Structure 1
Amino acid sequence: MLHPLLHNHPTTTNNSSSATMASAGKRPVDLSAATTSDPIKRRRSHLSPGKDPQLEEEEVEEAAQFHPAASSAAQEDDADSTGLRLLGLLLQCAECVAVDNLDDAGQLLPEIAELSSPFGSSAQRVGAYFADALSARVITSYLGAYSPLNPISKSHHQKLLNALQIYNSITPLIKFSHFTANQAIQQALDGADHVHVIDLDIMQGLQWPGLFHILASKTRKIKSFRITGLGPSAELLHSTGQRLAEFANALSIPFQFQPLEGKIGFEPWWEFSRPVCGGIALIFSIV
């Protein structure tokens, strides 16, 4: 007889407690909402009882969509900054490889590998392939397996020169870039008597005859015009300088040409960019 009494006693107490709360006008406490793991459900359970249920539902949906959108925007910003950082490192590493600065290039490659991935974003995938190519170039250069291409023959070089001149005559792309650069240089040279141009990749020097025409048409004549041209071949630089000198002499422009064989970025070229005297307009060009 004692066991049934003990079993029924809690039930009687719970029922009486619920009845007491109902009589006092209080809402029973729902513990299921407090213990749920869904934050949206927890927010829905704690909304004000006096609000319109439809407005409550809209606020809940808005809260559910806010955090993913903010997270997505933050991820896009991080991806953009990572892509820019990766691009800068790739360019810096490529410049080091171009001037045979293999130690600095080797130090940049681990950071590039950390930011790039063949399975990531577009920038990361491109960076991964360029990193592999630069790594192979650095490794083969250290091992001595990489060697420069054999110099082309004079006849083959003449064929390439003729092909480039034909291409320049039929397409406006190179002409437009030269024209735009020469216009900017001409405006910068307003009032200058002495000019020194550092062409970091002069090739055949096709850009400069157009500037010679512009300078020759001005009432105030240039007193000296000097070009320091960088290129991989001393023979090519000599022929380019001779051709530019003939063109400048035909327009009565005092002209000097300084050939400099080598790659962009190697140290001695900077010595030639120092003006021999004051009042010289110094221009750097790579088109």
Structure 2
Amino acid sequence: MACVEEIGSKNIAGINHFIAKLGDLASPRGSPISRLIAYFIEALGLRVTRLWPNIFHITTPRELDRADDDGGNALRLLNQVSPIPKFIHFTSNEILLRAFEGKDRVHIIDFDVKEGLQWPSLFQSLASRTNPPSHVRITGVGESKQDLIETGERLSGFAGALNLPFEFHAVVDRLEDVRLWMLHVKERETVAVNCIFQLHKTLYDCFWRSF
């Protein structure tokens, strides 16, 4: 935070001091915390170069190239170093479990499914019930077809290991372009919508569309 404040006040000496301090703790191949610090330093460095392009020039290290620093790795790293995503997933799943109590066919529409990290624990809870649902379906929304295919295969494998009947439906599109017909909602399904990490975007869009 001190480094961010120095950037805000445009104190070049202070920026150099704190980035050097953080650099001692950073390692793109080290522990999750060390890797997170490395990515944080890179982001700070890019911010500084935009403020003073004639003074600072940063070449991204090979260790932090695009192949390593993809969205999936960043998401897994966040789940390792922060309790917040786990807490959010736990709270959301508890609400869903109550909503699905006694329901035979359940359908979750996940507007930002990514790697589907939230759902294995829900599958376990559903499968352990005295009367588990006869069918579980997740509609995952995302912009990468390949990522959705991999997520669907991963979740299908996990559900299969629990003997939980499961279907994954992929919707490859931007959130703002998704329409109801794409979601394949069926009769006699209990439908729940998951948009925890996208809710701010939907509220933002609705706000501006009202003007």
SS of equivalent residue, structure 2 residue 175: coil
Question: What's the offset of the Cα at 1:272?
Answer: 3.5
Q: Pick from 72, 77, 85 the counterpart of residue 166 of structure 1.
A: 77
Q: Pick from 250, 255, 276 the counterpart of residue 186 of structure 2.
A: 276
The amino acid of 2:86's aligned partner reads K
Give the distance between the partners of 2:93 and 2:68, measured in 1 at CA: 27
**Structural mapping, 1:73-112, within 5 Å:** none
TM-score by length of 1: 0.43
SS of equivalent residue, structure 2 residue 108: strand
The amino acid of 1:276's aligned partner reads K
Question: What's the offset of the Cα at 1:158?
Answer: 7.6
Give the distance between the partners of 2:75 and 2:112, measured in 1 at CA: 15
RMSD across aligned positions (CA):
1.8
The amino acid of 1:231's aligned partner reads G
Question: What's the offset of the Cα at 1:273?
Answer: 3.3
Is residue 155 of structure 2 the alignment partner of residue 244 of structure 1? yes
Encode CA deviations 1:91-122: one digit per residue, 9 max, x unaligned.
xxxxxxxxxxxxxxxxxxxxxxxxxxxxxxxx
Question: What's the offset of the Cα at 1:276?
Answer: 2.6
> Quick one: structure 1 residues 163 and 264, their matched pair in 2 at CA, closer, same or farther if it must change by over 3 Å?
closer
Give the distance between the partners of 2:102 and 2:69, measured in 1 at CA: 39
SS of equivalent residue, structure 2 residue 154: helix
Give the distance between the partners of 1:257 and 1:157, measured in 2 at CA: 27
SS of equivalent residue, structure 2 residue 163: coil
Q: Pick from 182, 205, 225 the counterpart of residue 136 of structure 2.
A: 225
Give the distance between the partners of 1:260 and 1:273, measured in 2 at CA: 7
Question: What's the offset of the Cα at 1:284?
Answer: 0.7
Is residue 123 of structure 2 the alignment partner of residue 212 of structure 1? yes
Question: What's the offset of the Cα at 1:283?
Answer: 0.8
SS of equivalent residue, structure 2 residue 164: coil
2:100 aligns to what?
189
Kept after mapping to 1: 8 A contact 2:138/2:169:
yes
Higher radius of gyration, 1 or 2: 1
Kept after mapping to 2: 8 A contact 1:197/1:282:
yes
Give the distance between the partners of 2:97 and 2:108, measured in 1 at CA: 12
TM-score by length of 2: 0.58
Question: What's the offset of the Cα at 1:159?
Answer: 4.7
Give the distance between the partners of 1:211 and 1:179, measured in 2 at CA: 9
SS of equivalent residue, structure 1 residue 156: coil
Structure having greater relative contact order (Cα 8 Å, sep ≥ 6): 2
2:36 aligns to what?
none
2:207 aligns to what?
none
More helix by share: 1
Question: What's the offset of the Cα at 1:167?
Answer: 2.2
Give the distance between the partners of 2:116 and 2:194, measured in 1 at CA: 11
Kept after mapping to 1: 8 A contact 2:79/2:86:
yes
Question: What's the offset of the Cα at 1:275?
Answer: 3.0
Gaps of 5+ in 1: 1-154
> Quick one: structure 1 residues 265 and 191, their matched pair in 2 at CA, closer, same or farther if it must change by over 3 Å?
same
The amino acid of 1:244's aligned partner reads L
Question: What's the offset of the Cα at 1:163?
Answer: 3.5
Give the distance between the partners of 1:225 and 1:257, measured in 2 at CA: 9
Paired residues in the alignment total: 131
* Identical residues among aligned pairs (%): 37
Encode CA deviations 1:185-206: one digit per residue, 9 max, x unaligned.
0001111000111111111111
Q: Pick from 195, 198, 203 the counterpart of residue 286 of structure 1.
A: 195
> Quick one: structure 1 residues 157 and 255, their matched pair in 2 at CA, closer, same or farther if it must change by over 3 Å?
farther
